[in-house]
Amino acid sequence: MAIRSIVQYPDPVLKQKAKTVTKFHARLHKLIDDMVETMYDAPGVGLAAPQVGILKRVIVVDIGVELYEVVNPEVVERRGEQNAVAEGCLSIPNLLGHVRRAEYVKIKGQNRFGEEIEIEADGYLAVAFQHEIDHLNGVLFIDVAEKTFRPQERE
């Protein structure tokens, strides 16, 4: 495993749409392992492959309860609404924002071996999944935030 450099805004790779993963081989496993190590080292609660310069549809999420590795994730169901307090991003340090997100999401995707998986998430975990999946579509939290602010300006 290796810690990779996190791409910083305004690098254009962050605004590009990631490609579907079709090969589930050792290189993909290495990417996922590196992403997990990079996320924990940062420290963060989620990381998308474009954030390490790889335009593949891969995310890792861990809000402190369980590690999720999802390949080709998509939100297939959304319910409710929440306004995340102080949503941030490893690619945009020192900036936070209020973003309206679904309170509940159902995610479908694949694990590192290509097996179908389904995850149901609510609250903060739902926010993390939505944030990381946005990265795969070239959408940053600053693109959808109702308001952005510096950490020292916290309300």
Q: In degrees rounded to 5, what are phi and psi of residue 12? A: -60, -20
pLDDT surpassing 90 at residue 152: no
Tens digit of pLDDT for each residue in 102-137? 999 999 999 999 999 999 999 999 999 999 999 999
Residue 107 belongs to domain with CATH number: 3.90.45.10
Q: One-letter amino acid identity for 150?
A: R
Which of the two residues, 153 and 119, has the higher pLDDT score? 119
- In the residue annotation, 155 being an active-site residue is answered as no
Q: Does 70 fall in a domain?
A: yes
pLDDT surpassing 70 at residue 31: yes
Residue-level pLDDT at 153: 79
131 is in an annotated binding site: yes
Which of the two residues, 83 and 108, has the higher pLDDT score? 108
- Report, as an integer, the average pLDDT of 69-75: 99
Q: Does 99 fall in a domain?
A: yes
pLDDT surpassing 60 at residue 155: no
pLDDT surpassing 90 at residue 85: no
Exactly one of 81, 132, 146, 155 is catalytic; which is it? 132
Q: Does 4 fall in a domain?
A: no
Q: Does 7 fall in a domain?
A: no
For 6, 17, 100, 104, 121, the CA distances from 12, given in Å and listed in that order, are 13, 11, 24, 30, 30
| Mean predicted lDDT score pLDDT of the chain | 96
15 near 7, Cβ under 8 Å?
no
How many structural domains compose the chain?
Answer: 1
Range of the domain at 49: 12-153
98 is in an annotated binding site: no
